[in-house]
Amino acid sequence: MLTIGLTHYIVLSCLLLSFGVAVMATKRNAIGILIGSELVLNAAVLNFAAFGRYRVGGVDGQISGIFVIVLAAAEAAIALAIFLNFYATHATVDVDRGDALKG
């Protein structure tokens, strides 16, 4: 218990990912869903760094983590642009209202 190893970080990032998925599943506000996806991506960053530290060594894990962070920032920018557009046409960001393409 007192020696922190890879297992601790695996359990923690599993928890974080599950919380993120549950947030994405239970929020109806589109921005809440974006918050959930940020939790999921942070779990990935934590896992990359932990495997880099305990199994691979060097900076390879950290470089993978930095690409995840950059992609997450890009994803947040595009997602918010889409939400603003959605808000301009529907006057809400409730994802249940976004059913214009439903057959």
Residues within window 35-64 making contact with another protein, judged by CB under 8 A: 35-36, 38-39, 42, 45-46, 49-50, 52-63
Phi, psi for residue 41 in degrees, rounded to 5: -70, -35
Stretch 7-36 residues interacting with another protein (CB under 8 A): 7-12, 14-23, 25-32, 34-36
**Which is nearer to another protein, 54 or 98 (by Cβ)?**
54
Q: How far is the CB of 64 from another protein (least distance, A)?
A: 9
Q: Which residues, other chains included, contact 65 with Cβ-Cβ below 8 Å and sequence gap of 6+?
A: 44, 45, 48, 49, 52
Q: How far is the CB of 103 from another protein (least distance, A)?
A: 22
Q: How far is the CB of 99 from another protein (least distance, A)?
A: 16
Q: Which residues, other chains included, contact 47 with Cβ-Cβ below 8 Å and sequence gap of 6+?
A: 9, 10, 13
76 binds another protein (CB under 8 A): yes
Calculate the alpha carbon distances from 46 to 6, 20, 27, 76 in Å: 11, 14, 24, 19
Q: How far is the CB of 87 from another protein (least distance, A)?
A: 5
Which residues pair with residue 82 across a beta bridge?
A: none
